Structures are given as C-alpha cells and as structure tokens.
Amino acid sequence: MIVKKLTTMSQNLWNKVTETIIKAGQMPMPISDTLIELLKIIITEEQAKFLLIFKEPSLNLNQIKEKTDLEEHQLEKILNDLMHNGIITGTTSRSTGVKVYRLMGPFPGIFEFTFMRGETTEKEKKLVILFDKLFEEMSQATQKNYEELVPQYKKMVPAIARVVPVEKEIEVPKQVVLPFNEISKIVEKYDDIALTHCYCWHEKDLLGDPCKVTDERLNCFLFGKTAQFAIEQNFGKPISKEEAKKIFEKAEDEGLVHQAFHVHLDPQKEEEAICNCCKCCCGIFQLYYRGAMPYTTQTSYLAIVNEEECIGCGTCVEKCPMETISLVDEIAKINSEKCIGCGVCAHHCPQEAIKLEYNKRDVFIPPKKIAAN
C-alpha cells in the first residue's frame, strides 16, 4: 500500500509539472505518457518539484526565493542545472537590471535547447525518438478530430514566427515604413549574436533522415540577451555580423526560409532568434506537413508572377516550401492564401518572373489533411 501511494504521488507530480511546462509555452499540447517520459529523462524529480513554483512563466530571483525554502547554494545549483539543460533561461532585463528566469515550453523551447549543442550521446538518441513519437501522436490526434480542431486552432494558435524575405528580392515601395524587415538590418541591430547547431537538422540526423536541401548544420542565430545566455551555457558560439550575413546569403542561395522568432514568441517584440528553414526538417513546417498543427506566421510580402516572363520551367514549384505554386497551362500560379512571402521562388526564378509585393498580413494555413490508408 505504501509503494502504491508513493507511485501515485510521483505520478501526480509528473502530471503537474508537465501541465506547468505546457502552460509556459505557446503551443497547445495534451499531457501524455510520451511527454512525461521525455521530461523524466531531462529533469530529476527534485527539479520537477522545484518547477511547480512557476505558476507564471517568468520569475526574478526574489520571487523565486519567496516561493522556496532552499538554501542559497542549493537554489543556485538547481537554477544553474536547469539553465544548462535548457529548461529555463536566465536573462537580465535591460530596463530594470534584474535577472529573470523563464520556464520553457515543450515546443518551441525545450525541444530546441535539447538538440542545440549538436550532441550525439545516448540521451539525445533516446530523446529524439520520444520527440518524434510525441509529434506523431499530435498528428494522429489532429487528424482524428480534424473538422472539430481546425476552427479551434485558428483561435488558439498565435503567429509565433515572422517570415523575413530574401533581402535581394525586396523592392521597398514609397511611403511604406519597413523597419528592420531585411536580414541585414536585423543583424545590425544586435551586438550579441550567437550561432547554434540547427536543432531540427540535428533531430533528423539522429533519426537517420538527413536534410535533402543542405549539408550545413551551424545555421541558427540567437540575438541580444538570448544570445548572451546561449553563449554562457555553451548552446552556441559568438559570431560577428559579417560572418552572420555570409551564412544568411548562403542559406538564401540554398532555398532556405528565414523565420524570425521574437521575445516571448510575440512578433510585436524584438527578434530573439532567426532560423534558416527547409520544409523537410524544420519543426514548424513538419508539424504542418505531418498534419499535426496549422502553419501560422506573420509576413509582409506576397509573391506575384509576371505571366509574360514566366516560361513554366517549374523551378518555383520545386523550391516553394509551402507547395503553394503550380503550373497551369505552363504558367506558374500562386495560391495567395498559402504564400508566406519568403521570396525563395523569386530568388531562384531563372527568368526573374516573380517579384515580392508588399502585403503585410497574418497567414493561417490549416494542418495538411492526411489521407487515411
């Protein structure tokens, strides 16, 4: 009876901490045995109990001390261990000078930090299988309840990223203010830039399904306070603005999409990270293609085809990450509702028959409907 009671108490703890971590994120996700098993590998039971104090995702040190009776050295150790594992981040507020600790959600958040160092230990190999299983379970749940869930997703799932177009394809119209919209201007804003291993490509490598678009692996960027944190905790390395721009240019030539993530996943706030993404590996694209989640983003552009210049070569059809372009009577046709304004089609069109037109909007594309076998 005592063993059964202890088991029940332990299960309740893991259910509660899993719920706390999910609430800290932006992505709706059910509590599942897979997610609990995954968290048990990353955090200890002691750390799980500690994380229950994060009723709010962000707490400063004084607030944490008020919620725990740990000694100073114990508190310092548990915070450092959790930061090292990417369960919480610790950054100093520019306005107050106070260090703030923020609990990460499962995805985006813990997933990225888990694979950001590019490590290949048995721990990472176990975790990658569990993450893949988790995403598959999400896909099955969405597909099973597709008609019911999609309208809810439209209300619940915010645009957590912003597509930054290929800079060379931007034609800035008069009387339109586009602050820091191009990659180079974003890079110039920050003195602290960290280059990290692409977690999505690393996940695919560990699963034995490497990227079909690029052999590059160090291709994700963190900025400002988040970059400082990543460098301190060995998640990334410092990189100069000039080096960063060269990597972005190579990414554009390879047909990758620039996706910017902002502080607190709020596109109205300053940039926190930029990933260079392919549709075969990117976690956000993959959740869409696996039919698990909608693709939601903010964009400022729409691709427009000059039909007189188009020769119907199909390059844009091949390159489009959202599969939104088709050939009709040997002319490229773009589904504007699915266009994310990335500029990949324009950048790679051999005839220069596609241009980006300013069109600021939120894009919501329902999860891909997977045909039943």
Across-strand partners of 60?
100
Higher pLDDT, 95 or 362: 362
CB 124 within 8 Å of CB 115: yes
Predicted structure pTM score: 0.90
Q: Over the stretch 184-222, which tens digit does the pLDDT of each residue have? A: 889 999 999 999 999 999 999 999 999 999 999 999 999
Q: Over the stretch 258-290, which tens digit does the pLDDT of each residue have? A: 999 888 777 778 899 999 999 999 999 999 999
Res. 179 pLDDT band, cuts 50 70 90: very low
pLDDT at site 171: 56
Separation between Cα atoms, residue 78 and residue 61, nearest integer Å: 12
Q: Over the stretch 320-344, which tens digit does the pLDDT of each residue have? A: 999 999 999 999 999 999 999 999 9
Separation between Cα atoms, residue 99 and residue 78, nearest integer Å: 16
Exposure string for 69-102, b = 16+ CB within 10 A, e = fewer? ebeeeebeebbebbbebbbbbbbeeeeeeeebbb
Q: How far is CA 352 from the centre of its chain?
A: 31
The CATH topology of domain 2-106 is Arc Repressor Mutant, subunit A (1.10.10)
Give domain limits for the chain: 2-106, 146-167+185-365
Q: Which is nearest to 124 in space by CA: 116, 133, 114, 136?
A: 114
The CATH topology of domain 146-167+185-365 is Alpha-Beta Plaits (3.30.70)
pLDDT at site 328: 96
Q: Which is nearest to 277 in space by CA: 221, 200, 345, 206?
A: 200
